[in-house]
Structure 1
Amino acid sequence: MLAGQASDRCEVTPQNLTVKLGSNVTVVFNAPINGICRNKWQGFSPSQVFWTLNSQKIEESFYDHNDTHAMVSISNFSLESGTVECHVHEQVLGGTIVRTHGTFRNTSMAMEPPKRPVNISCTTSSTNEQYTTCHWNGAGNSQDTTYEVTLKQGDTLPPCYAPPGQYTCQFKINSYRNMSVTVTARNSAGNVSTTVHLYWWATRKYPPPSIRVERLPNSLGVHLEKKSVGWVYCWEHAKCEVEYVKEGSNDTNRSEGNATINIYDVKPCTNYSVAMRCACYLSMWSDWSIKHTVLSLLNVRSEPLYLWRRVLEEYGNGTRHVQLMWKGPSPSCKAIDEYRLYVDSTHLKSLQPTQYHTSVLLTDTAHDIRIAAYQNNTMLRESFFKIPSTEKKFPLVQKPFATTQNGDIHISWDPPSKPANEYVIEWFTDATQKDTPSWEKIQDRNYFSIVKSLPHKLYTVTISPLYDEGPGPENVLYTYAKEGAPAKVSKVILLDSDSTHLTVGWQPVQRNQCCGFVVNYTILWNKVLNGPQQSETVDHTRRNMTLRDLQPDTSYQVMVKAHSTAGSSISDPSQFTTDAYGKAFIRTLIAVACGVMILLMCGVCIFMLWRRMMNLMVPNPQYSSMAMWSQAKSPKPSFLNNPDVDSSPRDNILQFQIDNDIDGDLAEVAGTGAPPCLAEDWAMDANLSPDVSVSEWPAENVRLNPSYGIGPFGGAESLEADIEDQQQQEQQSEQPGQISPATSCQAYMDHMPIFGPGDPSGEAPACVPSEDGSEHSGESSQPDTSATLRATSTYISVDVFDGQKDN
């Protein structure tokens, strides 16, 4: 039994090695196939071992390994002493101390005797019983330690010698007798021995057995084959151990028994890797058999069959496109032949065992859905589900919340206001999985965990309560198992610009972009040429920002950095330029320009109106005719005081100012001598003698009685001609050379009808001789200083010519 236990040991050799200074050292870690270290560390392999010298890792280029050993070589060992250790998964498997001699300090150490050999065992193969091989752990603490092994089976056999570094010896023996083994370690400082007594059964080792694995409804049966080599006579007395591992798991399980062992804790329809080793009576354990992979059977009747639905789309006419999903046996189990789908007791379709979802078109009314698993036309399992009408409304779960721990996502929520029978949790990480997500159905709890979640992947999780009447509405949340830096902002644009500010906007990072939730944005900007960088952070809901206090006509580089709880990312730089002139300046400039233009236009218009008023054409009196006003056309007693006259000649009546400069034609007439009726009035009004010629009167002393109206006349030449004609006629009829006052006055009256406000008939008053022999008007006229010739308003009847009408 001792020998059997020794063969399973995992250890470092040699122990306490003493070498010459500058020698090469090789240290080996022994890991037998059935070693304890392989059972202690699941999935152990010698390739996983790493080595340290005085706690400093040795370079891997000095490593070597095979299936059962891991080795390290140290060249030119020059330390006085060093501790070499081997490790796996940060655990120390073993170690040894290496010392050097050849120096004064190592002289006494080299003279120490070797240590006692330990862990002595011998192995005798059941297929070759003539030989046995003995093993021990080396006790050499110097390079010159050798070993001598002796074996006794009644008689002492010839000794076996092992050189330094070798720890095995082989003997030819009688296989059915007990033995005594002595191992002596010897060097120049002395020797030491260890003796063990071994029962012959304890040294025997049988070959790996041949096994057969049987699939049972709820277990696996592992059998030792009777015809296995070396086990024919020991099959009934065999003691065996089974090792099995579920596919995809690193957990190794063992079960002990006889030649047949049943494994009950297996999952249906699951692949298992199975191996067996055996011993006969008190012999050593054999090596493990070849591993067998077997698929456990599935009892479909005892397995649950879950059914779920997902509404993909609702149409305006009330119909719904519904995705049906179910969970049944794996197709690899080959436990069923087909699934059958029923809608309201109507067989709708049959599906293959490899199908786990299908879509149907349903009306807006309530429906009963059933999925059934069949084998050989026999129903093995079925599941029911109710889909309520679209008008049916149920409460949803409250306050869904997600946390992460050790790579797992933990979901919790508050129950809805109405008690729910079950909950369905759906989740997916890719938009392509939205229609067929992963899902689980749970009962009696309001929490769920998604184990072994993927890092840096956005999980979309929905929670739906199930009621007696059907499922309630889903509540959605988003989470990461492990967040990373978010995606960078893809586009930065200019929204508005001025001379001192820029308004920039950016495309926000979408929620489905890798690899974290954005908590805020930082906007960075600086002048393109050697400007200091400025920054400002805003909330993740912001989509734009105004950069103020900038310089006009200057280029700026703008970047947007997105932050998550685990990192940040920055956008590509974008360049924008402020305006040379601000909008306020441009608006003021435009307003001033418009004001100036309006003022100029107003000035031009006023000037044109003034010029037009100044350039009004006054009809020339010499082209007008003079006529007497009739009573019908002058119904009013006064023309000046009452301008409401007949409208027929009104367009031909103009008002004009008589200047103090007497018309040249009138002066010429005056030069001929004024008629007595006029000369007297003029002389009286001017306080001058009637004998004085009118042309000699001072212009400022000339007065006209305002009671007279003077109409336009044909001109001085025509007037003079008429006077001359009348004088000639009078000379012929009366006295030669003398003009009658009445005649001379009549000549003027023919050309200048004089009428005053006191004449209601509108006719000119007759010339009446004065007491001194002159003639004057029938009504006396008092001089009026306000009616001077320089400013007298007179109304004249004018015949307007066609060419003057427009003016």
Structure 2
Amino acid sequence: TKELMGIMTMSELFLPFLFPAGPHVICDVYPKDLYVEQNSSVEIVCQTSCSNNGKVFWTLNGIHISESLSKTINATHTVLSLRNFTQSSAAVQCHSSYGDQLLGGVTIRTYSKPKNITCVLHYDVNKPNGVPKLFTCSWEHHMDSSQTNYTILKYVNSNSSVEICKSQGVNCTHNSTRLADDILDYIIKVRAKTQYWETDSDPYVFDPHSITKINPPKNLKITPSSEHLSVKWDPDEPRCQVKYYKVGKSTFWKLVAGISVFTIEEVESCINYNVSVRCASERGLWSEWSPEKTAFTKLSRSRIRMGLWRKVAELGKNGKRKVHLMWKGIPSTCREAFLVKQVAYNDNTTTGNYTYTSCGSSSCDVDVDHRSHRLYLTVSDSGALLDSVYVPAVGDASLPEVWSIKTTKSRMRGVIQVSWNVSEKPVSSYIIDWTHDGCRYFWKETTFTNATLFGRTPYNITVTPLFNNISGHSIHANPFCSSMGVPEDIDVKVEEVDDKSAFVKWDIKSQNPCNDVDTYTIFYEAQGLQHNVSVSGSEDGVWLKDLKPNTHYNVRVQATGDNETNMSSKVHFITNKYDPRLIKALSICGGILVVLVLSIGLTCAVQWKKFNDKPVPNPRLSSVAKWLTQSHAK
């Protein structure tokens, strides 16, 4: 073939220089230091002069290459052809099958073209928009850029190019270009060059006006109101986009044409919105986003689900009633101050005299007299009305009233079922409110004469009928617990331990006022054997009997009530070796014996002393002596 003929010609030209004639015939592979472009073809020549025997074969990174890729040109030269070579670096070696002889080798390295070129005509960020003064191109190149020199070339025609800028990185900026003045499209190429290879990228064709990028908008100003956010910026541009979002939520974009003001509708109340703007010329690229600004929205009645209610105390001696006004649905993040405006009624007609009370964030206390009143909750700074509630006059018999209320415990734990009778007067709905501490109230509206409450605390429950936004007279239920649980803590102590018995006592502690114990079960274990005894929930101690002397016991107490159980921690004790009563009896007997011995000893000592104290008779004074003397005289 023509390619093989070319290789042969190349071999004939270079062999005399690579392998000089002489007595020593050598083998080798050439060319050396081979660099090829990725996905291109490469041919390697193996000189086999030193090996006339055996078959020539090739390996790539130690792996045999197909024989179909190798061609023998003549007796001393073999050519390897590799197509679409992609490996970044590979070792190719030529071998002879005779003695598995290595004839030579070469390392092939590949390089790639720069790709994904993008160019932008832009402005100095500190200067106004006008004629672009900067030209920046960037590209991708999967090579070691620190060893590569890049040049951006602008082609005036197919044969003539002009260097725009040079770089050793994958981007380059030219700060004195007149490219923006060009009307026609033109071509840009990026040339990459090292000491071993050189390559040009594919051409990048663009219209100067389509790659113009203006500076971000400035002087961004956001004005919040109760219903929307008003956004303004400088300067006016043909196209702009407004980006806004809540922290951690989805981002929204709105396209604005030819103006520098935009209104963001349907914003949520009392929340931070981050806003930024970017613009573009008629055909150019989008600018960078302006620095984000944060705006806090105001409270909007139409954006919240407002709930307003009140608790009315009995009429005091001073002729006043305390009304605790409370509301829900207003986000806790709102910063608005609230004001209560109240007006009294005389014969269903307002007096026209309003009184005002400043309030907290979720409740307010006001005083009213015996007459009926309406209380209006408003926003202090704007006066916007949020809601109102009615307080009936004392003893007004024309208003609806609930006469009886019933609370029952459901089979489900933690559930209270409340029911009441139907009012004799027309009613549109009922408000049921409940509290467990008199400070925090919960309430809901229903059209039924029953409701279900959840919780395991003793609730004070009130039901109030409503008709046409006017509240009637309320009825109260006694404190009621939905269920009775067991105490959280059981403290166990062991007292009065004998050899065969011990008294176990316990104390209970609980943060839940709704708790009760049906039974206590005492588990005690020794030497792997477990026993238990149960007592009533009213007990706080029990005697454990028939224990083994001198034995280590573990004891626990389990409380059971309302389908709940709780177990105490283990407590250890050791029974005595002997019955304390025996020791006491022996002690008493020993004491008596000691007293008896001491008494006898003392008696004997006294008698002995008395015996020793008697005088001994003098024999000379004895009458017997006189008799003996007279007999001797005779």
Q: TM-score, normalised by structure 1?
A: 0.42
Residue 266 of structure 2 corresponds to 265
Once the two structures are TM-superposed, the CA of residue 273 in structure 1 deviates from its matched residue by: 2.6
Distance 1:420 1:130 in 2: 74
Give the alignment of 1:425-504 within 5 angstroms: 434-437=437-440, 439=442, 441=444, 467-468=465-466, 469=472, 489=489, 491-494=491-494, 500-504=500-504
- In 1, Cα distance between equivalents of 2:197 and 2:451: 72
2:188 to 156, 174, 181: 181
Write the letter of the residue equivalent to 1:221: S
Distance 2:324 2:441 in 1: 13
The residue aligned with 1:338 is 339
Structure 1 stretches of 5 or more lacking a match?
1-98, 227-234, 404-410, 451-456, 480-485, 590-807
| 2:338/2:377 contact within 8 Å kept | no
| 1:221 aligned partner | 230
Separation of aligned partners in 2, 1:116 and 1:303: 60
Q: What is the rounded CA distance, in whole Å, between the counterparts of 1:521 and 1:378 in structure 2?
A: 62
- Could you tell me how far apart the structure 2 residues matched to 1:439 and 1:148 are? 74
Partner of 1:253: 252
Question: Within the alignment, does 1:393 sit opposite 2:428 as a pair?
Answer: no
Contact map agreement 1:215 1:296 (CA 8 A) in 2: yes
SS in 2 for 1:208: coil
CA distance in 2, matches of 1:394, 1:351: 34
Distance in 1 (alpha carbons) for counterparts of 2:565 and 2:121? 65
In the alignment, does 2:122 pair up with 1:125?
yes
- The equivalent of 1:242 in structure 2 is 242
2:214 is matched by which residue type in structure 1? Y
Corresponding position: 1:156 with 2:161: yes
Work out whether residues 432 and 462 of structure 2, in 8 Å CA contact, stay in contact via their aligned partners in 1.
yes
Cα shift at 1:263: 0.5
Where does the alignment leave 5 or more consecutive residues of structure 2 unmatched? 1-86, 94-103, 396-400, 467-471, 586-634
Contact 1:184/1:192 (<8 A) preserved:
yes
**Could you tell me whether the CA contact under 8 Å between 2:342 and 2:375 is conserved in 1?**
yes
Query: Identity over aligned residues, as a percent?
Result: 19
Of stretches 176-185 and 388-397 in structure 1, the one that deviates more from structure 2 is 388-397
Structure 2: how far apart are the matches of 1:359 and 1:521? Answer: 47
The answer to whether the 8 Å contact 2:274/2:293 transfers is: yes
State whether residues 420 and 466 of structure 1, in contact with CA within 8 Å, keep that contact through their aligned partners in structure 2. no
Aligned twin of 2:110? 113
After superposition, the C-alpha distances for 1:449-508 in whole angstroms (9 at most, x for unaligned) are: 99xxxxxx99999987653246666897889xxxxxx99735213488775444534334
How far apart in 2 are the matches of 1:325 and 1:361?
A: 14
Superposed displacement of residue 264, structure 1: 0.5
Partner of 1:649: none
1:357 aligns with 363
The CA distance in 2 between the partners of 1:383 and 1:252, in whole Å, is 37
Contact 2:405 2:419 in 1 (8 A): no
Q: Do the aligned partners of residues 384 and 323 (structure 1) sit closer, same or farther apart at CA in structure 2, a change above 3 Å counting? A: closer
Q: CA RMSD in A?
A: 6.2
- Compare CA radii of gyration and give the structure with the larger one: 1
The C-alpha deviation readout for 1:608-637, integer Å capped at 9, x for no partner, is xxxxxxxxxxxxxxxxxxxxxxxxxxxxxx
User: Residue 552 of structure 2 contacts residue 572 of structure 2 at CA under 8 Å; is this kept in 1?
Assistant: no
Give the conservation status (yes or no) of the 8 Å contact 2:409–2:416: no
Q: Secondary structure at the match of 1:157?
A: strand
Aligned residues: 442
| Alignment check: 8 A CA contact 2:495 2:504 kept | yes
Once the 2 structures are TM-superposed, how far is the Cα of residue 143 of structure 1 from its aligned partner? 8.7
Q: What is the CA-CA distance between 1:355 and the residue it aligns to?
A: 5.4
- Paired with 2:328 and 2:150, the residues of 1 have a C-alpha distance of 67
How far has the Cα of 1:119 moved from its partner?
Answer: 2.9
CA contact (8 A) 2:416 2:482 kept: no
Q: Could you say which residue in structure 2 is the equivalent of 1:773? A: none
- Whole-angstrom CA distance in 2 between matches of 1:136 and 1:291: 29
Report if aligned partners of 1:124, 1:203 keep a CA contact under 8 Å in 2.
yes
2: CA distance, partners of 1:100 / 1:522? 78
State the Cα distance separating 1:550 from its structure 2 match: 2.1
What's the offset of the Cα at 1:380?
Answer: 3.4
Q: Is the contact made by 1:322 and 1:361 (CA closer than 8 Å) also made in structure 2?
A: yes
1:208 Cα deviation after fit: 2.1
Alignment-mate amino acid for residue 241 of structure 1:
Q
Structure 2: which amino acid aligns with 1:124? L
Cα distance per residue 1:751-774 (max 9 Å; x no partner)? xxxxxxxxxxxxxxxxxxxxxxxx
Whole-Å separation in 1 of the counterparts to 2:411 and 2:280: 58
Q: Partners in 2 of 1:196 and 1:537 — Cα distance?
A: 92
Is the Cα–Cα contact under 8 Å of residues 216 and 279 in structure 2 kept in the other structure? Answer: yes
What letter matches 1:170 in structure 2? Answer: T
Q: Check the 8 A contact 2:145/2:170 in 1, yes or no.
A: no
In structure 2, distance between residues paired with 1:223 and 1:492:
72
Q: Given the two structures, how large is their TM-score scaled by the length of structure 2?
A: 0.51
Aligned equivalent of 2:137: 134
For residues 377 and 191 of structure 1, what CA distance do their matches in structure 2 show? 71
Which of 375, 380, 384 pairs up with 2:385? 380
For 2:214 and 2:139, the matched residues in 1 are separated by 21
Query: Quick check: which one's strand share is greater?
Result: 2
Counterparts of 1:205 and 1:342, CA distance in 2: 63
Q: 1:298 to 1:133 in 2, by over 3 A?
A: same
Does the CA contact (< 8 Å) of 2:417 and 2:451 recur in 1? Answer: yes
Cα offset for 1:254? 2.7
Judged with a 3 Å threshold, the aligned counterparts in structure 2 of structure 1 residues 140 and 508 are, in CA distance, closer, same or farther, namely: farther
Q: 1:182 Cα deviation (Å)? A: 2.0
SS in structure 1 of the partner of residue 378 of structure 2? strand
Show the counterpart of 1:285: 286
Which letter maps to 2:256?
G
- Over 3 Å counting, the alpha-carbon distance change for 1:142 and 1:355 in structure 2 is closer
Q: Partners of 1:287 and 1:279 in 2: how far apart?
A: 9
Contact 1:462/1:477 (CA < 8 Å) preserved in 2? no
Check whether the contact 1:115–1:192 (CA below 8 A) recurs between aligned residues.
Answer: no
- Is 1:205 aligned with 2:233? no
Structure 1 counterpart of 2:203, one-letter code: T
SS for the counterpart of 1:491 is strand
Give the whole-Å Cα distance in 1 for the aligned partners of 2:453 and 2:200. 62
Partners of 2:387 and 2:139 in 1: how far apart? 64
Go from structure 1 to structure 2 and tell me whether the alpha carbon gap of 1:193 and 1:582 turns closer, same or farther (over 3 Å shift).
same
Do the aligned residues in 1 keep the contact of 2:91 with 2:105 (CA within 8 Å)? no
In the other structure, the counterpart of 1:784 is none
Equivalents in 2 of 1:146, 1:348: separation in Å? 83
Relative distance call for 1:142 and 1:252 in structure 2 (3 A) is: closer
Q: Corresponding residue for 1:679? A: none
2:215 match: secondary structure:
coil
1:344-743 equivalences in 2 (<5 Å): 350-354=356-360, 356-359=362-365, 370-373=375-378, 380-385=385-390, 392-394=403-405, 399=410, 421=429, 434-437=437-440, 439=442, 441=444, 467-468=465-466, 469=472, 489=489, 491-494=491-494, 500-512=500-512, 525=524, 534=530, 547=544, 549-552=546-549, 556-559=553-556, 571=569, 573=571, 575=573, 577=575, 581=579
Give me the whole-angstrom Cα distance separating, in 2, the residues matched to 1:225 and 1:577. 91
CA distance in 2, matches of 1:473, 1:522: 39
**Is the contact between residue 114 and residue 145 of structure 1 (CA under 8 Å) also seen in structure 2?**
no
Cα distance, 1:131 vs structure 2: 2.4
For residues 375 and 510 of structure 1, do their structure 2 counterparts lie closer, same or farther at Cα, with a shift above 3 Å needed?
Answer: closer
Q: CA deviation at 1:205?
A: 2.0
**Are the aligned partners of 1:149 and 1:159 in contact in 2 as well (CA < 8 Å)?**
yes
Task: State the shift of 1:274 in Å.
Answer: 1.9
TM-aligned CA distance change 1:170 to 1:360, over 3 Å: closer
* AA matched with 1:393: S
Change (3 A) 1:302 1:133: closer
Shift of 1:338: 2.6
Aligned partner letter, 1:467? P
Shift of 1:356: 3.7
For the residue of structure 1 that corresponds to 2:210, the secondary structure is: helix
Q: Which residue is 2:170 aligned to?
A: 167
1:385-433 Cα deviation digits (max 9, x unpaired): 4579998434569859799xxxxxxx99898786983666778xxx9xx
- State the shift of 1:324 in Å: 3.4
